[in-house]
Amino acid sequence: MHEFDIITTYFTHQSLHRADVIYGIGDDAALVTAPLHQELVITTDTLVSGVHFPLSTSPYDIGYKSLAVNLSDLAAMGATPAWITLALTIEQADKQWLEAFSRGLLTLAKRYHIQLIGGDLTHGPLSITIAAFGFAPPQQTLLRKNAKPGDLIYVTGTLGDAGLALDHLKKNIQLNNQDQPYLMMRFNQPEPRVETGELLRNIAHAAIDISDGLAADLGHILEQSKVGATVYVDQLPLSPALTRALPQEEAIKFALTKGDDYELCFTVPIDKQATLEKKLASQTCPYTCIGSITTQPGLLLYYQDGRQYHGKTAGYQHF
């Protein structure tokens, strides 16, 4: 199957069309119009086969997850997604694979009214690089560097689920049949917290998405904001599936150190707490306050009874 036929059949014809796209797939580059008086938010993430997803992952899930991790970055900035480009490197042009991959990718794209505006299809070891583009009103994006002492620290959803699923895939942990589908969905089809990110504009001081583990990713906020934090490890949100699979100490370790959950971690000044909780109540996305920002640099981990937590906190190491 020829490169151009693949692109037309599986991508051009399947993508929706936005009014702000003057020219999408089909020329040397795409042409778009950025909205007036908005900042443009740009991110890119690569998923490499065997590194970011197991070789056994279904093409639908690969397509879905490749986009989800990019949308998660836009969500962590409080941006509204608009367009994506796709650089897809594949070993061979397998129709069934391409059909399922594009379906996974474009199903998620449609949910957020995103248009695929261009890309590149190359021959080589399976790898997917997406660039995602969104908008936000001026000075309302959520930067890592703006956390302030006294801010409350929140996370969305539950933590550690994707890490547990990965350990299961690596045959380190056995899961019961009841919890397996839920955990595998958490790993293969993470839900980017786009609506929550948008809602946090003008409310949160700082935000990040949790891709390498809570302690590591919160650590970026602390470092860039030149602050510290106190977090209560027995307040970390854990799913019933996680607590069924692991003893409490182990579950906490997973929640602190395992990546791939793509939940948001954000900080909010106390005087915005009521507004935040009222706004979040209108959504289905769960959220939990896990601690607060302190003046003294460093991350301190406690149980609510006052004991200090001394477990491992290092997250995913890329090299």
Nearer to its own copies, 135 or 232 (CB): 135
Radius of gyration over every alpha carbon of the chain, rounded to an integer in angstroms = 20
Nearer to its own copies, 144 or 183 (CB): 144
Nearer to its own copies, 32 or 175 (CB): 32
Q: Do the beta carbons of residue 309 and residue 301 sit within 8 Å?
A: yes
* Closest distance to its own copies from the beta carbon of 307 (Å): 31
* Closest distance to its own copies from the beta carbon of 34 (Å): 4
Nearer to its own copies, 25 or 183 (CB): 25
3-state class (DSSP) for residue 161: helix
* Closest distance to its own copies from the beta carbon of 221 (Å): 10
Instruction: Starting at the earlier edge strand, list the strands of the sheet with 298-302.
Output: 206-209, 264-268, 152-156, 287-294, 228-232, 298-302
Q: Do the beta carbons of residue 220 and residue 296 sit within 8 Å?
A: no
Cα 25 from Cα 30, distance rounded (Å): 6
Nearer to its own copies, 141 or 239 (CB): 141
* Closest distance to its own copies from the beta carbon of 312 (Å): 17
Which residues are within 8 A (CB) of 201 and not within 5 positions of it... i.e. 6 or more apart? Answer: 78, 136, 137, 140, 141, 142
Sign of CA dihedral 138, 140, 143, 146: positive
Which residues here bind its own copies, judged by CB under 8 A? 1-3, 6, 22-23, 26-34, 36, 39-52, 73-74, 76-77, 79, 83, 85-87, 89, 92-93, 117-125, 127, 129, 131-134, 136, 141, 143-145, 207-209, 224, 317-319
122 φ, ψ to 5°?
-130, 165
* Closest distance to its own copies from the beta carbon of 196 (Å): 14
Which residues are within 8 A (CB) of 108 and not within 5 positions of it... i.e. 6 or more apart? Answer: 63, 64, 67, 68, 71
Nearer to its own copies, 14 or 44 (CB): 44
Residue 173 identity (one-letter amino acid): I
Nearer to its own copies, 7 or 183 (CB): 7
